Amino acid sequence: MSVPEQATREYLDAPIRKIGALAWLKENLFNNWYNSLLTVLTLLALCYVVPPFFKWAFVDSLWNTSAEACRDIEGACWSIVPNNIKFIILGFFPEGQEWRPILAMILLLSLVIYSKEWTRWNKYLGWLWVAGLIVMGTLMYGGVFGMPVVETAQWSGLPLTMMLSFFGMVAAYPLGVLLALGRRSKMPAIKTLCVVYIEMIRGVPLISLLFMSSIMFPLFLPDGMTIDKVLRAQVAIILFTAAYIAEVVRGGLQAMPRGQYEASDSLGLNFRQTMRLVILPQALKIVIPPTVGILLSAFKDTSLVVIIALYDVLKTTKVTLSNPKWTGYSTEAYIFLAVLYFICCYAMSSYSRRLEKDLHTGH
């Protein structure tokens, strides 16, 4: 006859030292002398930095006042942001037409958010994108349905940043994949062309490409012919990003075991089918993390267009700071900008992590 096992068991509480906040502290922060020392030092540093910052940013600060009111306070003058928000975000977009870029941005965001689920990727989504982009272009440029024309020279602020980075990424990605395939091609002409292109672009900083597109390039054009400034910057960004993506994708391609190629060959797949059905889906999946790294830096690099006097969101902020009324509140303005950039970048990287997990097939 067996006694139910349960009855013989002693019910003990978990030892107090193993759980709870105190135990956690001891386990993680004070588990030996140097960790304890580091913890204490860090805490001291935080005590030294955080309260003054908190006081500056939240206690002594003004949030929505005139510039004059800010002169008398010690704390942060966040008023610079609400007072100039229209110019910082939308730049030169004509008054009364602000809804157009805002709507365009919302449209772009909702399309991006909808497309997040990779299960939704199909032909119809593609057409939805085409339609969406046409609507966005119409909204920005106008000229139909009684919307006055707004030239690209007036596109500025956040819409410009989003446009440059979005189209920079979207156009650079396929171009980069093609370049990577070209570099591994057995045809010498194509291979050389791709190698030269990639190495040349990677050999120069983005700033010099932007300078070339804005200063040297116009001199080569015939007299009186000009190419849109925004377009020139956009092309420079695309060409630049593509070269970097090409190298990352090439890494992915090289990581594919030979067996994969041989297996596709034995199945009778031709080059295109091999690439489309077997190699690229695996290779591109492997390189998601570095690709996202490049896309993130491409997004941040778009702020370099300030040097060719395009008014992206960084430049509009800088211009606001040149106004003597607001000079001196650069810290506040740049913090606002940093938050803006962080939100965008964090959204991208957390999405990439999810995509990586979703697509993970595991071995």
Partner 1 sequence: MKFTKTLLLMLCLSLAMVGFAQAGKDLDAVKKKGFIQAGVNGGVFGFGMPDEKGVWKGLDVDTARAVAAAIFGDSSKVKFTPLTAQQRFTALQSGEIDVLTRNATRTLSRDTQLGLNFVTVNYYDGQGFLVPKKLGVKSAKELDGATVCVLPGTTTEQNAADFFRNNKMKMNPVVIESTSELAKTFFAGRCDVLTSDASQLAGTRAVAPNPLDYALLPEIISKEPLAPAVRHGDDQFRDIVDFSVLAMINAEELGITSKNVDEMMKSKNPVIMRFLGTTEGNGKSLGLDEKWAYNIIKQVGNYGEVFERNVGVNTKLGLERGLNALWTNGGLMYSPPFK
Contact positions with partner 1 (CB under 8 A) in 119-148: none
87 contributes a contact to partner 1 by CB under 8 A: yes
Distances (CA, A) of 222 to 212, 217, 225: 16, 11, 6
Interface with partner 1 (CB under 8 A), residue from 132, 159, 176, 182: 182
The window from 12-20, 41-49, 51-59, 212-220 that contacts partner 1 (CB under 8 A) reads 212-220
Nearer to partner 1, 30 or 92 (CB): 92
Q: If binding is defined by CB under 8 A, does position 178 make contact with partner 1?
A: yes
φ, ψ of residue 256 in degrees (nearest 5):
-70, 125
Q: How far apart are CA 111 and CA 320, in angstroms?
A: 31
Residue 324 is a binding residue for partner 1 (CB under 8 A): yes
Is residue 139 a contact partner of residue 159, using CB atoms and an 8 Å limit? Answer: no
- AA letter at 304: L
Pick from 222, 257, 268, 362: which binds partner 1 (CB under 8 A)?
222
Instruction: Report if residue 91 touches partner 1, rule: CB under 8 A.
Output: yes
Instruction: Confirm or reject binding of residue 224 to partner 1 (CB under 8 A).
Output: yes
* Member of 113, 231, 263, 339 binding partner 1 (CB under 8 A): 231
Which of these, 165, 173, 188, lies nearest to 244 by C-alpha position?
A: 173
For residue 80, what are its two tokens? 């610079």
> Phi, psi at residue 312, to the nearest 5°?
-75, -175
- 81 sits near partner 1 (criterion: CB under 8 A): no
Q: Is 16 in the site for partner 1 (CB under 8 A)?
A: no
> DSSP 3-state assignment of 150?
coil
Quick one: tokens of 154? 């007036």
Cβ 154 to partner 1 shortest distance, Å: 8
Which tokens hold the place of 223?
């007299």
State the Cα angle at 223 between 220 and 225, rounded to 5°.
Answer: 85
Residue 246 is a binding residue for partner 1 (CB under 8 A): no
Give contact residues for partner 1 (rule: CB under 8 A).
71, 83-84, 86-87, 90-95, 151, 153, 156, 174-175, 178-179, 181-182, 187, 190, 194, 211, 214-216, 218-219, 221-229, 231, 235, 307-309, 311, 318-325, 327-328, 330
